[in-house]
Chain A
Amino acid sequence: MRLEAKGISFGYKKGVKILDQFQITIENHERVGIVAPSGFGKTTLCQILSGYIKPASGQVLLDGKDIYKIQGYCPVQMIWQHPEKAVNPRLRMKDIIAEGDGIDERIMDGLGIERDWLNRFPGELSGGEVQRFCIARALGKRTKFLIADEISTMLDLITQSQVWNFLLTEVAERKIGLIVVTHSNLLMERIATRQVVLSSEPAKSLLFH
């Protein structure tokens, strides 16, 4: 499978482009790191690649199909930077995980999710614990690409390494393409097979002045 972004431009305000004619092609055996300083549009790019935002121009294609127009389960799943916003505070964790596409016990075990957490509400878990549910939820059966937007910043080093170990074997076994955003160079070296540097026009000019 191939995820292809062609001529992507996008900005939240008129006249300010965060992304300008951005291109990228990712195969499902690759692990691509996206590197850029804060506020350069990494999260925005992730949202465009997973079909949450329609770019002002250009297209994101998954095996030739426009990702923004896909109905039903989206094979490109994004894991968000802020887990507390990614779950409904009124639902128990077991109902939250049930929204995923048939999440195996194996996945929950691999991510260190304790069974006792399933009956709790998000407010009764730590940020890192909720994030593990969000990661598990994104690993449904039909997931072909996984976009991880700074998913481990709230985890301690040991848990972080446990989670990434599991994720790397999982994507390798299931031939899931991985796109990673992280500010940690160490992590980036370990995970990514290739890195893409994001730079935007207004930001570039800022750097040069």
Chain B
Amino acid sequence: MNNTGSVTILQKYQRKRLNQRSQTLLVLAFGSIFLLAITVIGTLVGDIAITTNFTQKNFLPQIAHPFGTDWLGRDMLARTLKGMSISIYIGLFASVISAVIAAILGAAAATLGKKVDAVITWFIDLVMGIPHLLLLILISYAIGRGTFGVVVAVAISHWPVLTRIIRGEILQLKEANYIKIAGKLGQSKMKIVVKHMIPHVFPQFLVGLVLLFPHAILHEAALTFLGFGLPPEQPGIGIILSESMKYLSLGMWWLALFPGMVLMTTVLLFDLVGGSLRKMIDPHSAQE
């Protein structure tokens, strides 16, 4: 394919692709660094975030306090970053649990026969049939509010999409000619899984995992905002937002606006990072 054909067209094509690739890489790197920065700084500013200073109550955004201060004189930038990092940790934790459930159930559905598949598919449809937020509230209410409840609720409500993807991928792979041929060449099941299946499914799994983050974070925040989630001792971004709501009527708009924007940005960035990751490990770029 490659050694014939016009050189100029070939070169043009490659250059464009390289450009696109490095662009994606740039987005990926930038997004990851930004998210890492939020998490690390948020973790480090813990003390500032809870330091009250009654001489600096209710300040509008200014150079010393870019996001303003709250009714106890706490710096809103520090609180926001701290809250965001808590939310990211919880989202991360819940996503990883969710993804592990998805990997196990997806693989089981695709390999353990029709009955297992039917049961797992039934559960997928069940969970996906219930509105997300309702399911989240029900689970976290049943388990007891608090961090544990949120993690469990977010994890339980988010596995179906990825499970479906993994199940579909493995089913498709099992039918692939080259895998059937490997079997006839006497390759063991284990070898086929390690050499042919995992390298194909793992990237998809990774992308699925990263794309779970934004959902997990958003739903954690929503759950907490509605009062079913994190306790006030764990001031995630949802807590900050719901507390700020009380002061919104007093005209303290900055208390809700900036944390809300940071939440939005984080969620969008995670989505962007997941999207570029998907582009990077698309099967057609496997040659690099």
Contacts and interface: CB of A to CB of B under 8 A. Distances in A.
Contacts of A91: 195
Nearest to B187: A99
B184 A88 contact: no
B112 interface: no
12 contacts: A50-B184, A73-B184, A74-B184, A77-B184, A80-B177, A80-B181, A88-B196, A90-B286, A95-B195, A99-B181, A99-B187, A121-B287
Interface in A30-89: 50-52, 72-74, 77-78, 80, 82, 85-89
Q: Which 4 A-B pairs have the closest CB atoms?
A: A73-B186, A74-B184, A72-B186, A85-B177
Given A73-B184, A86-B178, A137-B185, 8 more contacts: A52-B180, A85-B176, A87-B178, A90-B283, A99-B187, A123-B287, A124-B2, A140-B185
Contacts of B180: 52
B200 interface: yes
Contacts of B196: 88
Nearest to B200: A90
A50 B183 CA distance: 12
A73 B200 contact: no
B199 interface: yes
A138 to B, nearest CB: 8
B32 to A, nearest CB: 24
Band of interface residues on B: 20 to 34
Nearest to B185: A99
Contact of A88 (B3, B178, B186, B284): B178
B186 to A, nearest CB: 3
A80 B187 CA distance: 18
Contacts of B41: none
Interface of B: 1-3, 176-182, 184-187, 195-196, 199-200, 283-284, 286-287
B130 to A, nearest CB: 37
The secondary-structure label for the interface of chain B is helix
A97 to B, nearest CB: 11
A100 interface: yes
Contacts of B176: 85
B1 A126 contact: yes
B35 to A, nearest CB: 29
A150 interface: no
Interface in A77-123: 77-78, 80, 82, 85-91, 95, 99-101, 121, 123
B181 to A, nearest CB: 6
Contacts of A95: 195
Contact of A89 (B179, B187, B195, B283): B283
Contact of A73 (B2, B3, B185, B287): B185
Nearest to A89: B286
A74 B186 contact: yes
A16 to B, nearest CB: 20
A123 B286 CA distance: 9
A121 B178 contact: no
B86 to A, nearest CB: 39
Contacts of A203: none
A60 B281 CA distance: 42
Contacts of A88: 178-179, 195-196
A198 to B, nearest CB: 22
A100 B287 contact: no
B177 A86 contact: yes
A52 B184 contact: yes
